[in-house]
Homo-oligomer: A and B are copies of this chain.
């Protein structure tokens, strides 16, 4: 198997049968030794972090599979911290698609003049470009269209899928009395042009609260991964 890409928290290998292998690492993003899922740099290593993230990802992708929501998921080997996935073509150099149930984070930074922290947003969907240099700018459906990154039809599909997946995760968390504030997803296309969820769904992808208190990603994975 060939190493295709060395990522911040995962390495990507190409397999001989055309699938890809994602190797989850114990590196977590952050700055100055403090874990921050939104950071663009690796801040520290936490033993078992890769496997915990994969375990939760496996769970969510299998729930989505049952509901026939298209994803790149094929299989996962927890002991090896490896996930097997289908090949995907990303949109442009990658988009982040965010489903927001409660106002927090970058939404407040941008729209704090009109919103209060924790305000209900009803699963509102927004897209940002993956562009570290330009601080991941938000982008509208029309701008994605004019730049040839995503057609308006694809945007509508992406938005509907995001809301559907967000609602599944929200429901799963609610079963453990945890409240989902927002979740960040990535999408790609199959070779035949079908839009599917890619990457992972772990603690670092979402902000969750219990009894009004924010739950750190690793603690969230611990709570969700409990039998």
Contact = CB atoms under 8 A, between A and B. Distances in A.
Interface residues of A, number: 29
A140 B137 contact: no
Contacts of A109: 134
Interface string A120-162: 0110111001010110011111110011110000000000000
Nearest to A112: B134
Q: Which 9 A-B pairs have the closest CB atoms?
A: A110-B137, A124-B146, A114-B147, A140-B140, A113-B131, A121-B146, A124-B142, A138-B138, A126-B140
Consensus secondary structure, chain A interface: mixed
A115 interface: yes
Interface in A160-174: none
Contacts of A134: 109-113
A28 to B, nearest CB: 26
Given A122-B146, A146-B124, A137 B139 contact: no
B93 A147 contact: no
Given A112-B134, A126-B140, 11 more contacts: A110-B139, A111-B137, A111-B139, A113-B131, A121-B146, A122-B146, A137-B138, A138-B138, A138-B139, A140-B140, A141-B141
